[in-house]
Structure 1
Amino acid sequence: MAVTILPVETPSLGDRSYLVHDGEVAFVVDPQRDTDRMTDLAASCGVRITHVFETHIHNDYVTGGLALAKETGAAYHVNADDEVSFEHDPVRDGDVVEVSDALRVRVVHTPGHTFTHLSYVLEGETPAVFSGGSLLFGSTGRPDLLGPEHTDALARHQHASAHKLADQLADETQVMPTHGFGSFCSATQSESTSSTIGQERRSNPALTKDEEAYVAEIVAGLDAYPAYYVHMGPANASGPSGADLDAPELADKEELLKRLEAGEWLVDLRTRTAFAAGHAPGTLNFGIDGQFATYLGWLIPWGTPVTLLGENAEQVAEAQREMVRIGIDHPAAAATGKPEEWTDEPLGSFERATFADLSQVRHHRPVQVLDVRRGQEFEESHIEGAVNVPIHEILQRLDEVPAGEVWVHCAGGYRASIVASILAANGHRVVAVDDSYGEHAEESGLPIVKAA
């Protein structure tokens, strides 16, 4: 039987899950919590899901593995050494799971991203390795998520695991990672969309550098990761339920004002362009068109109720689906329509601009530049005189935001709009730079400071 491998993308978290079938039965690797995507895909292919494989206890999302296994009656394969509080089918290095005659899966212990990380090798005519957070495209999973005391050891494990896979597998074996498509679980990012063991053997630092050089490089390159990660491991070890995607209650103007005054977060899902043009005062802009869940989960004080404001019910539903993937189980409320329908106050607004605009305006009046990129991005290159407060630190460092007119920028505009909305809600006069730093900052004539 022919084997089909179908990736299921979650771009906002930078992850992939996989459904693999032979035309009759299927197995799933690392499913997200909204399991309906997998069951719908299996139904459309006319196959039954009989096995679910977990590569590791995830740090960047709440798994749907247990819920999917319960829903479909599938066997749920988790490392026998993982300390979990739910029933599962334990597997270890060297085990072979016969899903069907065409789907033979071999378990390989590949520590590095976590100590108990597993990869799954699909053997046969279509060889593939589902490598989770181990071997990625041109990179590996980051080794620091279990705490700094384990980083060096895990980095060395990661190097050894990459070589273990390369030694065991043929060059034509397809590499099918979970992370590496924008996920902060990846040590570095790659533009690749596919790869093989042969390609990785030639280009992946874990396979081209010796252990000491690789460890030094990967540790030096580590930067901040989302604060919500700390909640994901415990949630996944406890056996999370499936996603609750029932629509939240709708709130009127009076209810929205009460929630705002109570300190809840009212999150405007519209594009940064629409938000800048007019928004309900005090609301925050996390556009559904970007890495919504990553940045909402990173910034929000954990447990704060969230009310979603969207142009329509579909936008709210999409945001709700994103939130449940990171353990924000249900919005407190929602409202749809236009910002005029969400408040009786005059709408707030702020200017959007380009780096060329910033270059020009600095010749005419004093303005402050706030760079909200991460520390490593700033160190590599930044506008002379800019103040760096990374987006994930903005709520704790509001007192460091310069007085006066503040021009906020990031690398492309999405993070700048989030921070601009936070500053506007706190009474600052802001301009959001909605432009590509890499393409236009220097060419606009702005003085740039680069790392030596």
Structure 2
Amino acid sequence: MIEIVAIDTPTLGDRSYLVSDGEVAFVVDPQRDIDRVLDLAQVRGLRVTDVFETHIHNDYVTGGLALAHATGADYHVNAADPVSFERSPVADGDVVEVGSFMRVRALATPGHTFTHLAYVLEAPDRVPAVFTGGSLLYGSTGRPDLLGPAHTGELVKRQYASAHRLAELLPDDAEIYPTHGFGSFCSATQSAADRSTIGREKQVNPVLSQDERAYVDELLAGLDAYPAYYAHMGPANSAGPDAPGVTTPAKAEPGELRSRLEAGEWVVDLRSRTAFAAGHLVGSLNFGIDGSFATYLGWLIPWGTPLSLLGETPEQVTEAQRELLRIGVDHVETAATGAPEDWSGGASLGTFPRARFEELAMVRHHRPVTVLDVRRDLEWARSHIDGALHVPLHELLDRVGEVPAGEVWVHCQAGYRASIAASVLAAAGRRVVAVDDEFDRAARAGLSMVAS
């Protein structure tokens, strides 16, 4: 009996897959922390014989080559991809036999990248399953603009053709297993669906239910910014990343942390936004491990900046390191655990208030404050508070000087990005209030809303 196990990485919005017949297994699009795959295989008594990449990934460092080395598996990467490592090249139409009765057929599905492949699993007495990577997703497709604006127009049309190719070649009950679409910025839009088939996507997915012009226009109009660290993922994956190792960072004493901050290094507090606002090492930045930590840290940090981590427990630091390894940040300079009083060396702690939109509405009646919206452009265009200043979070470090002097109330959609922004402003010596609230409550709180 065929078993397909999804290995979720919710903080990056991706899935990998372990597929087995009870004795042997293949893996599709493994993340860099391959211990998750190896543990699953060991528990199930499986031998991993093949690893497949749907494409050279833009949003994480692959574990494919390391997994192949660890298991002796064949590593299948598109023959057209210019990689610098040994692989088992695969091309459109190729069939790989896995075990006694699993057949994996490669289908060219360009659009997310030029060399993107989908893999169709065929086995007796079961409907086909297709591993679609960044092509056909649940209710969406992979975005076509990650290779640069010069290629976007061509890739979006190829994405449309690829989705229709899958729909024409596969039966309606064929199961779809995408890599992206669970929060990844590689997805053009997001969906709450957790499973789907070709037949369902024909009904609900714009790429299959609209004509090409309507699909192209709608998708391109909906594209927004994506994380800056994506620029480093393709080269890393083409070079063949090795297996990561999580080593314990050197312990940082208070004096060293202060010296690192003064030298312009990043000291990142992993605690929740509530804990950070109540007391933190002055100058540190808050990227809580309880949210999209790696996505936003990787997006904002100047690549290569020395990094120190502050956590309540060693386990919190280790979890952060695992997240960072997935995006190619392999080295953490120092770390410290405990409470902010332990990290400050007796110096005063930084604090800032947290508030709801109701409090912002009341405050605006009796004193002038700056309302700073750090959501992305499309979020702002749909609806925003009248009179607010808009600086997307990923631009804030370069645009802090545009934020007027005085009291700043900063908000996002749900509070996580607002806390990051508040920590950036506080580190710059600004007087800030973090709005920790859902944006859909702003209008109900009496704040006037407008759209762009």
Q: TM-score, normalised by structure 1?
A: 0.98
Residues 1:335 and 1:126: Cα distance change in structure 2 (over 3 Å): farther
Structure 1 segment 14-163 matched on structure 2, within 5 A: 14-124=13-123, 125-163=126-164
Structure 2 CA distance for aligned equivalents of residues 24 and 264 of structure 1: 49
Match of 1:152, as an amino acid? G
SS in 2 for 1:52: strand
User: 1:395 maps to what in 2?
Assistant: 397
Aligned partners of 2:222 and 2:128: how far apart in 1? 32
Deviations 1:302-341 (A, max 9, x none): 0001101000011000000000110101211110000000
Q: Whole-Å Cα distance in 2 between the matches of residues 361 and 432 of structure 1? A: 14
Whether the 8 Å CA contact 1:306–1:333 is kept in 2: the answer is yes
Q: Counterpart of 2:362? A: 360
- Secondary structure of the residue aligned to 1:164 is helix
Equivalent residues in 2 for 1:237-256 (5 A)? 237-256=238-257
May I ask how many residue pairs the two structures share in their alignment? 449
Say if 1:340 and 1:347, in contact at 8 Å, map to a contact too: yes
Letter in 2 for 1:183: S
Distance 1:135 1:154 in 2: 14
Q: Say which SS state the counterpart of residue 28 (structure 1) adopts.
A: strand
Q: C-alpha separation between the residues in 2 aligned to 1:190 and 1:357? A: 33
For 1:397 and 1:264, locate their aligned partners in 2 and report how far apart those are by CA, in whole Å.
Answer: 19
Aligned positions of 1:257-406 closer than 5 A: 257-344=258-345, 345-406=347-408
The DSSP-based 3-state class of the residue aligned with 1:105 is strand
State the shift of 1:126 in Å. Answer: 4.4
- Tell me the amino acid that sits aligned with residue 267 of structure 2: L
Residues 373 and 389, structure 1, Cα contact 8 Å, conserved in 2: yes
Deviates more, 1:245-254 or 1:399-408: 245-254
* CA distance in structure 2 between the aligned counterparts of 1:257 and 1:44, rounded to whole angstroms: 46
Quote the offset at 1:33 in angstroms: 0.6
Q: Supply the distance in 1 between the matched residues of 2:174 and 2:248 (Cα, whole angstroms).
A: 43
Runs of 5+ consecutive residues of structure 2 not aligned to the other structure = none
Are 2:199 and 1:198 aligned? yes
Q: Report the CA distance between 1:48 and its aligned residue.
A: 1.1
Shift of 1:252: 1.2
Counting aligned pairs with the same residue, the percent is 67
Give the secondary structure class of the aligned counterpart of 1:136.
Answer: coil
Q: Distance in 2 between matches of 1:242 and 1:55?
A: 20
Query: What's the offset of the Cα at 1:99?
Result: 0.6
Q: How far apart, in 1, do the equivalents of 2:359 and 2:401 lie?
A: 26
Task: For 2:150, give the aligned amino acid.
Answer: E
Aligned residue identity for 2:251: L
Q: Distance in 2 between matches of 1:350 and 1:360?
A: 18
Q: CA deviation at 1:11?
A: 0.7
Tell me, which stretches of 5 or more residues in structure 1 are unaligned? none
Aligned-partner SS, 2:365: coil
Moved over 2 A (4+): none
Query: d(CA) in 1 for partners of 2:218 and 2:108?
Result: 23
- Using the alignment, how far apart are the partners of 2:21 and 2:331 within structure 1? 36
| More displaced stretch, 234-243 vs 246-255 | 246-255
1:450 shift after superposition: 2.5
TM-superposed CA distance for 1:255, in Å, is: 1.7
Aligned to 2:171: 170
Contact between 1:29 and 1:53, CA under 8 Å: does it hold in 2? Answer: yes
The aligned counterpart of 1:189 is 190
Q: CA RMSD in A?
A: 0.8
- In structure 2, what is the equivalent of residue 416 of structure 1? 418
Deviation at 1:170, TM superposition (A): 1.1
Conservation of the 8 A alpha-carbon contact between 1:141 and 1:185: yes
In 2: Cα distance, 1:362 partner to 1:396 partner: 27
Q: Which residue of 1 aligns with 2:216?
A: 215
